[in-house]
Amino acid sequence: MSELLKVIVLGLVQGLTEFLPVSSSGHLVIFQHFFNITEALTLDVFLHFGTLIAVVIAYWEDVVEIITLKPRYRKFSYYILLGSVPAGVIGVLYKDEIEHAFNSVKMVGFMLIITGILLWLSDRVNNQSRAMEEMNVIDSIVIGFAQAFAILPGVSRSGSTIVAGLFKGLDRKLAAKYSFLLSIPVIGGATLLQVFDLVQEGFGAFGPIELISGTIAAAISGYFAIKLLVKLVNQEKLSVFAYYCWSLALIIILFF
């Protein structure tokens, strides 16, 4: 398989799994292992940028409302920033330990089991359907720590944050919206940190055609993944992904 095709496949995988609750980090570890890609920093930066583009396009109207400080979104914007703090702090303080965790494919398997349990529980929550105006500081902190937990490979960021929102009684559509908008500062911040490393280490073996192609693939697949997940959350069908996570976890634990 050519390098260009490998990067496009990884871009599609990144976009789909970043937003579908099956752990993008876990899948990238697995695919990079099969493709024998060891210098993945440059690629990670561009693929994450692609998923950032996807969420901005999918929630463009909300992003504009937030940027222009519309009254209805002022408190909500504050909760997005507050919810981003736990992942940002933990990501900076434990950067080396987190990178080390990405070297263990078997760890991905065990974390996927946890992701599956969370997803299975999500459709069994007695949801209170609280609206955006009813959100509070505790909601953002709880969901923020759920996002921080998802730094570990194999734990789904979208899955853990949406499930945390549902357990806090948020409306299903709001839980999904907050989860995706919460990803913007986190993905943006993580990408920025990687760019600093990239400047020091160089751009590696990937050329501009491969990197641009991977970014576009991640953006397109990410956009459709968001639309699909929102639909499934509203239909209370998140637990469908639990069985996928458990099946993949079993394969990883038994054969790696």
Q: What is the per-residue pLDDT across 61-105, written as a single tens digit (0 to 9) for each?
A: 999 999 988 888 999 999 999 999 998 888 778 777 776 766 677
- Are 40 and 201 contacting, i.e. CB atoms less than 8 angstroms apart? no
List the beta bridge partners of residue 130. 170
Q: What is the mean pLDDT of the chain?
A: 86
pLDDT reported for residue 101: 67
Q: Which of 229, 204, 244 shows the shortest CA–CA distance to 44? A: 204
Residue 91 burial (CB count, 10 A): 16
Using the 8-state DSSP alphabet, how is residue 256 labeled?
A: -
3-state helix, strand, coil in the chain (%, to 5): 80, 0, 20
Six-digit token pair at 217?
Answer: 């693939």
Amino acid making up residue 65 = E
Segment among 96-100, 136-140, 153-157, 165-169 with least mean pLDDT: 96-100
Q: Are 176 and 21 in contact (CB under 8 A)?
A: no
Number of Cβ within 10 Å of residue 101's Cβ equals 18
pLDDT tens per residue across span 5-17: 888 998 999 899 8
| pLDDT level of residue 134 (50, 70, 90 thresholds) | very high
What burial letters (b/e) apply to 59-77, b meaning 16+ CB within 10 Å?
A: beebbebbeeeeeebeebb
pLDDT range class, residue 41, cuts 50, 70, 90: low
pTM more than 0.85? yes
Nearest CA among 115, 128, 107, 222 for reference residue 160: 115
The amino acid that residue 54 corresponds to is: A
**Has residue 39 got a pLDDT over 60?**
no
pLDDT of residue 243: 93
Domain that includes residue 42, residue range: 3-255
Instruction: Please tell me the total count of domains within the chain.
Output: 1
Sign of CA dihedral 127, 236, 148, 219: negative
Q: What is the pLDDT of residue 51?
A: 92
Phi, psi of 97 (to 5 degrees): -65, -40
Give one DSSP letter per residue of 181-209, joined into a string. HHHHHHHHHHHHHHHHHHHHH--TT--HH
